[in-house]
Amino acid sequence: MNVFGGKAILKPTANMVSEIREIGQMITAEYYGEVLTSIDEVQIDFQKEPEIAQLAEATYDIIAEEIINLRNFHLLTVEQRLEIGDPEKQLKRRDRNKILVDKVGNNNVLEKLNYLGDWEQTSRLIFFEEIMTFIYLKQNGKSDEITDPLRENRLRKTLKEWYGSEGDNTWDPATFTTDYFASKLSDRPRSEAKKRLAMIGRGTVKAGFDFEELQSHMYYLNEEVGELHIFGLAPKILNADINPWFIPEKGIPGFDLLSYNGKVDFKDSKKVKIYAVQKLKTNARKAGIIEQAELNGGQTIGRLINLLTDVEVKKVFFHHDELIDLTKEIQEDRFISYEEATLFENHLKSELEKIDSLREATADRYNNRKLADTKWNTMVQMLKQLQTYEFESQVSPYNYFATLWYRIAKDGLIDQEEWLAIEGENKPKTPQKEQYEKLWIGSDSLLLKSQFNEGLYQIIKDSIPIGKYIPDTLSLQKWTALTAVDSNSIFKEVTFLPEEKVAYYHFEQDKDTKEKLTQMIGLEKYQPLEWENWITNKEVILRIPKPDTVNTLKANSSMFWLVDKNAVDQLIQINIPLDQLTYPLLLSMGGQDKPYTNMVIGNHIVFKSSDNLSLELESPNSNPPSGLSQKQLEGLEAHLIKLYTDHDSYHNRDFLTKANRWFTSKMESKAGILDKFK
């Protein structure tokens, strides 16, 4: 029974016209089928076969790589193996011969793998023991089941034979999984193996669309040609069920019991029924229910849009791309790995090129630009969501610079390519780069600068070296001597050449460049939400008239003070920790080495505390912080001025401005989906 149900029919009710999201889920395809399920399947879970095959294949590849590395090592001469494997001659003579000199045999293959590779870790991988048993059985032409792990003598023999064969043709993931499941069946406890329970389950799987996921940026309607383009809204399985009665009027049950014995109980029966539903969903997917739901759904959604807009929709296009799929995958665990971020950013740049092509197209310019705008808005929304998620082990959420800072932190140095990327942030930008930045932060350039400052500050704080990789070649003897005495140098791409030579790249530190790094950082810290909270909270910034009546400013980590040298009759108290607006350590106003309690920054004096305010106002600390330029200090001064002037402007608004702001926020929150279709 593989019959799809008919298309869903929508009636034009006022409720649907006013709020399409209230439709909720719309079923556009149904699958009717039956499955045969047994207690054996439940105990072993055969539906995990694809996953097991994939994991086993990955483990097999790692084992094979260890064997290949061992083969390549033994292609070197004995002298080369000794130079590379024991340059400081720390191995005992017997071990040196066994591991580095002697040919690979049953008696030393494990020792060689352990010493030369990462065999200890490899042998702990999932399915390692099962794979080695499988290889042993195939090498020896046996059809036994994969049961107990190999004894050490058989493991050694298997690895030796594997090493000796140029190509191993005994591995096949499909055959492995078949044998693996057979062994699991035979390994069951006797009480479980005695159970007999088999059922036929008949049920329905329904697929369609969840309109609660619909957002305004996810579609584009080309009214001229009647085309609707949908982005990121895809059909999915909404329901799968096997009821007690499949067709009540004909007396056809949902479950038919085929066989059982007295060893099974209610829990076993429940497990079989649940497994039957899972199997029914798998069969529905294989039969193409998702594709059918999209086909039917396109026509149904087209009719719906016709009701809402009076535009006849002739074609509906569902745009499924890797960028949207990857975003949804990331959103499931709300965590972004470096690999995911790199892949996402590559797709992002590729999608921008498509948008540029659409905007520059001369044919059908209006509609191509509208389609480009829809794609742009889709990416903006995706980035807004992803920039709230955790990225690797970094403190800050995922942002424009996250992958750059991660690469630098991971290898503990800044190479020439990374230095050029950092340096480029303070140079004029191409239109393409400006467009890419705008995609991340919109028009909030202060946020991008702050994110750059935060990462750069961490690099300066951690004293990460800067330089470039220089290619070089040495004789094997000199290379061995170099690496024996120099443990601090950084090498990469080391290649052993014929005639006992070694080619490599070594990292050469540039100390002059490091001084430039400090001058690149901006001193401003900024987070949009925090900034908005500070501006709207009246108590965050207080103005104290006649500071000559104030004798001391008691140190408090949650506040600091500002005085405008052109208006010394007023003290500005800012109830925000200074380290949330700037970097006190760079200003020599933090740390343990007698930090300054005040500092002149342009026309302002910043106070963290004061024992004699009137005296320090007359003679403030005007020594510029080491390594910082006047331009950097001017940037910080402008940042602090903006903070208190924005605060003043907000709290001194007239009644009409306040009313307009309130009314706008109310209208935005009440905007219906119908408005977004217009």
pLDDT value at 678 more than 50 = no
pLDDT in tens, 51-98: 778 888 888 888 988 888 888 888 888 888 888 888 777 888 888 888
CB 256 within 8 A of CB 242: no
H/E run at residue 111: helix 109-116
Across 311-320, 417-426, 660-669, which has the greatest mean pLDDT?
A: 417-426
pLDDT value of residue 12: 35
* The residue to which tokens 């294989």 are assigned: 286
Across 8-22, 321-335, 490-504, which has the greatest mean pLDDT?
A: 490-504
Q: DSSP E strands: which ranges in 523-628?
A: 541-545, 560-564, 570-574, 598-601, 604-607
3-class secondary-structure state, position 266: helix
pTM over 0.75: no
* The residue to which tokens 């108290």 are assigned: 573
User: Which value, to the nearest 10 degrees, does the dihedral of the CA atoms of residues 49, 51, 57, 59 take?
Assistant: -120
Structure tokens at 129: 């023991």
Q: What are the two backbone dihedrals, phi and then psi, of residue 530, each rounded to the nearest 5 degrees?
A: -60, -45
Per DSSP, helices labelled H in 544-654 are 613-618, 630-651
The letter for the amino acid at 270 is K
The per-residue b/e assignment along 614-646, b for 16 or more CB within 10 angstroms, e otherwise, is: eebbeebeeebbeebeeebbebbbebbeebbeb
Cβ partners under 8 Å of residue 547, min gap 6: 563, 568, 569, 570, 571, 613, 617
pLDDT in tens, 485-540: 777 778 888 888 777 888 888 888 887 776 778 888 899 999 999 999 999 999 99
Tell me what the pLDDT averaged over the chain comes to: 79
pLDDT in tens, 168-194: 567 888 888 777 766 665 555 555 545
CA distance 234 to 325: 10
Strand 315-319 and strand 227-231: the pairing is parallel
Angle, CA of 330, 385 and 458, to the nearest 5°: 85
pLDDT value at 410 more than 80 = yes
C-alpha closest to that of 395 among 407, 406, 379, 382 = 406
Q: How many helices (H) and strands (E) does the chain have?
A: 27, 20
pLDDT value of residue 83: 81
CA distance 208 to 28: 5
The letter for the amino acid at 327 is T
CA distance 380 to 376: 6
pLDDT value of residue 45: 52
pLDDT value of residue 14: 32
3-class secondary-structure state, position 412: coil
pLDDT in tens, 573-610: 999 999 999 998 888 865 556 678 888 999 999 999 99
Rg (CA), the chain: 35
The letter for the amino acid at 404 is L
User: Which value, to the nearest 10 degrees, does the dihedral of the CA atoms of residues 117, 121, 125, 131 take?
Assistant: 40
pLDDT value of residue 20: 56
Confidence class for position 639, pLDDT limits 50, 70, 90: very high
pLDDT value at 298 more than 50 = yes
Structure tokens at 91: 């191995």
CA distance 548 to 617: 9
H/E run at residue 186: helix 173-186
Structure tokens at 238: 């909404």
